[in-house]
């Protein structure tokens, strides 16, 4: 009885410690050909990667909180990418008069590039809250997820979601649900976790004033607990408790499943200061607001990002929330801290609308 158990344990350990999922999968098919398939990677109960290469996704969200929709915000879905069948969700306050136009606020959801959707209740609740409180037209796009679609798929989809807005602004047959209330000249791009990494990429890709998107004009970026990585562990990653909401195991798993095959976490799409990452020092960037929980394992990477950009004279504001973990604002938008995040965003929009 002991021997077979030992064999299984040693195979599983190989899988978890390996950085290279392709090789790992192959090795396991050979090593474990005759036994039942087993899960090698699991993410928050909704994504299962089997040793035989199969990927199974649950259609339930990881965070099954009730949707808090009191009718004060209207919303609808629109396809923005026909090729990949991607949709975005538009939100606007229901009582807004069309005499003054509202800023547009993109909210790109999180989930380590592997899970999440515009339809998840945590994402919807935060967007409903933002649309009402800012007030703004909120645009929450989906994007292709890994490991079926590794990076840069998610980033390219984020870019396409902005190009869709440009098409709207240029179209002679505008969608009046949007164009009657939305100010295409005052656009802000935010992202939560992996979405924050997308926001970073877009800020560099488009540069100050986003000329490529004219007449759409981005005025600033909001990084909400941005998901960055790197091969050298930071102190907060190395010392963060194992029972954190986003622990090191899950961080490593997300990267293993999402980075381009054969790459490391020093890839430019993961580590903004990796050996091949573009040098932001000489770039002209739009203002950034970075928000972080002090107990988030990703904290030190964001602190480094903020310190570097500040030292290079970029306009970046940083607010850290004591005692807060990853995702604290979106998991429950009714907490005092979440309300404070919305206020910070509101001020950032006001300050950068001129
Ligand atoms: C792999 O295993 C899963 C889980 O048992 C199963 O659903 C799937 O059909 C298998 N795929 C292949 C290609 O054998
Ligand atoms: C992962 O696989 C690729 C392609 O086979 C290889 O080039 C790379 O060196 C491997 N990386 C590791 C960490 O084993
Ligand atoms: C942003 O992503 C694109 C791939 O879609 C890549 O070509 C570009 O180098 C990335 N920029 C940064 C700053 O990582």
Residue 150 sits in the same domain as residue 214: yes
Report the separation in Å between the CA atom of 328 and the middle of ligand 3, taken as the mean of its atom positions: 28
Tokens of 333: 């938008």
pLDDT classification of 64: cutoffs 50, 70, 90: confident
The pLDDT tens digits of the residues spanning 106-128 come to 999 999 999 999 999 999 999 99
CB environment 16-44: b (16+ within 10 A), e (fewer): eebeebeebbebbeeebeeeeeeebbebb
CB environment 144-161: b (16+ within 10 A), e (fewer): bbbbebbbbbbbbbbbbb
Residue 11 sits in the same domain as residue 157: no
Q: Smallest Cα–Cα separation from 345: which of 133, 117, 62?
A: 133
Report the separation in Å between the CA atom of 173 and the middle of ligand 3, taken as the mean of its atom positions: 32
d(CA 240, CA 298): 9
- Reply yes or no on whether the pLDDT at 278 is more than 90: yes
The pLDDT tens digits of the residues spanning 83-110 come to 999 999 999 999 877 778 999 999 999 9
Would the pTM count as exceeding 0.85? Answer: yes
The pLDDT tens digits of the residues spanning 128-139 come to 999 999 999 999
Does ligand 3 come within 6 angstroms of the Cβ of 155?
Answer: yes
Which CATH number covers residue 126? 3.40.50.1820
Range of the domain at 227: 73-351
Residue 218 sits in the same domain as residue 114: yes
The total domain count for the chain is: 2
d(CA 325, CA 225): 9
d(CA 70, CA 67): 9
Q: Smallest Cα–Cα separation from 142: which of 126, 121, 122, 123?
A: 123
- Helices 21-31 and 2-17 pack at an angle, to 10 degrees, of 160
Residue 27 sits in the same domain as residue 77: no
Residue 266 annotated in active site? no
Shortest-distance atom of ligand 3 to CA 204: 13
């Amino acid at each position: 009885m002991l021997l077979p158990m030992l064999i299984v344990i040693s195979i599983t350990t190989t899988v978890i410690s390996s950085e290279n999922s392709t090789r790992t999968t192959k090795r396991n098919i050979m090593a474990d050909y005759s036994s039942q398939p087993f899960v090698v990677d699991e993410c928050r109960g909704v994504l299962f990667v089997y040793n035989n290469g199969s990927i199974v996704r649950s259609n339930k969200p990881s965070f099954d909180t009730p949707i808090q929709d009191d009718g004060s915000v209207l919303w609808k879905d629109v396809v923005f990418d026909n090729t990949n069948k991607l949709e975005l969700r538009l939100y606007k306050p229901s009582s807004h008069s069309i005499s003054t136009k509202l800023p547009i606020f993109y909210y790109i959801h999180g989930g380590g590039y592997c899970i999440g959707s515009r339809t998840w209740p945590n994402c919807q609740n935060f967007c409903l809250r933002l649309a009402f409180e800012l007030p703004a037209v909120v645009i929450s796009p989906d994007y292709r997820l890994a490991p079926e679609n590794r990076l840069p798929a998610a980033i390219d989809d984020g870019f396409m979601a902005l190009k869709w807005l440009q098409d709207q602004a240029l179209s002679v047959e505008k969608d009046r649900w949007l164009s009657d209330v939305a100010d295409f000249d005052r656009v802000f791009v935010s992202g939560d976790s992996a979405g924050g990494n997308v926001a970073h990429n877009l800020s560099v890709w488009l540069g100050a004033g986003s000329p490529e998107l004219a007449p759409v004009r981005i005025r600033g970026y909001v990084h909400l607990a941005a998901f960055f990585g790197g091969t050298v562990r930071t102190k907060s990653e190395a010392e963060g408790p194992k029972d954190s909401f986003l622990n090191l195991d899950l961080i490593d798993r997300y990267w293993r499943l999402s980075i381009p095959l054969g790459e490391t976490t020093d890839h430019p799409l993961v580590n903004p200061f990796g050996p091949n990452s573009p040098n932001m020092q000489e770039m002209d960037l739009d203002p950034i607001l970075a928000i972080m929980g002090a107990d988030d394992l990703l904290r030190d990477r964001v602190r480094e990002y903020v310190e570097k950009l500040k030292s290079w004279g970029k306009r970046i504001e940083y607010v850290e929330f004591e005692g807060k973990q990853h995702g604290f604002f979106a998991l429950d938008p009714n907490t005092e801290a979440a309300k404070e995040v919305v206020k910070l965003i509101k001020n950032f929009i006001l300050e950068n609308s001129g």
